[in-house]
Amino acid sequence: MTLDPLQILDVAFLAMLLVIAFAIVRLNNLFAVVMLTGVYSLVSAVWLLVLDAVDVSFTEAAVGAGVSTVLMLGAMLLTAREAKPVSASRRLGPLAVSIAAGAALFYALPDLPPYGAADTPANSYVGLEYLERTGTDTHIPNVVTAVLASYRGFDTFGETVVIFAAGLGVMLLLGLNGRKKKEDSK
């Protein structure tokens, strides 16, 4: 087995993600938990870079690690700083469900193609077609941009509609122009 530097990076980043995820489970200080979520997003963004997904990587770094963390920090400041520790008896049910779901996924693991194989069904048909045609169809060098904005333009339009709806929902939930005084605060 040859040691590819990318393979070493791959294992290192996965180990970091595991450590961060377990730290998120253990900690009850919400500030630490939220910041660790940002770190988790950032490390996964770097890992995506190793996997050749450059566009996803910088979107995850900007949106996942940046915007989400800011949103969660804001919500945390408006609500609570500490989470109550969960009693041991209340942990058993969730643990059983997670282990059962994980076991089912591990049972399906052999059906997945080997990592990095080029001739899998997922990598054979549509993706390859996009790679071959983008140059002549759209003259955009970045295939991801071409598919996102040109081939699947309507899908991206739908995505912006979803974001608009979400923004509208947040504004309606939190009040449009400043908070109204609560009745019970008088």
Query: CA 105, CA 107: separation in Å to the nearest integer?
Result: 5
Q: Which of residues 32-71 bind other proteins (CB under 8 A)?
A: 33-34, 37, 40-41, 44, 47-48, 51-56, 59-60, 63-64, 67-68, 71
**18 in contact with other proteins (CB under 8 A):** yes
Q: Which residue has the tokens 């919400």?
A: 30
**9 in contact with other proteins (CB under 8 A):** no
**19 in contact with other proteins (CB under 8 A):** no
Q: Smallest gap, in angstroms, from Cβ of residue 47 to other proteins? A: 7
Q: Based on C-alpha coordinates, what's the Rg of the chain?
A: 22
Q: Which residue has the tokens 């469900």?
A: 97
Q: Smallest gap, in angstroms, from Cβ of residue 84 to other proteins? A: 5
Q: Smallest gap, in angstroms, from Cβ of residue 19 to other proteins? A: 11
**155 in contact with other proteins (CB under 8 A):** yes
Query: CA 121, CA 114: separation in Å to the nearest integer?
Result: 12
Q: Which of residues 129-148 bind other proteins (CB under 8 A)?
A: 129-137, 141-144, 147-148
Query: CA 108, CA 101: separation in Å to the nearest integer?
Result: 11
**113 in contact with other proteins (CB under 8 A):** yes
Q: Can you tell me whether residue 29 is helix, strand or coil?
A: strand
Query: CA 89, CA 24: separation in Å to the nearest integer?
Result: 20
Alpha carbon 171 to chain centroid, angstroms? 24
Q: Smallest gap, in angstroms, from Cβ of residue 178 to other proteins? A: 14
# residues contacting other proteins (CB under 8 A): 100
Q: Which of residues 84-103 bind other proteins (CB under 8 A)?
A: 84, 86, 90-91, 93-95, 97-99, 101-102
Alpha carbon 53 to chain centroid, angstroms? 13
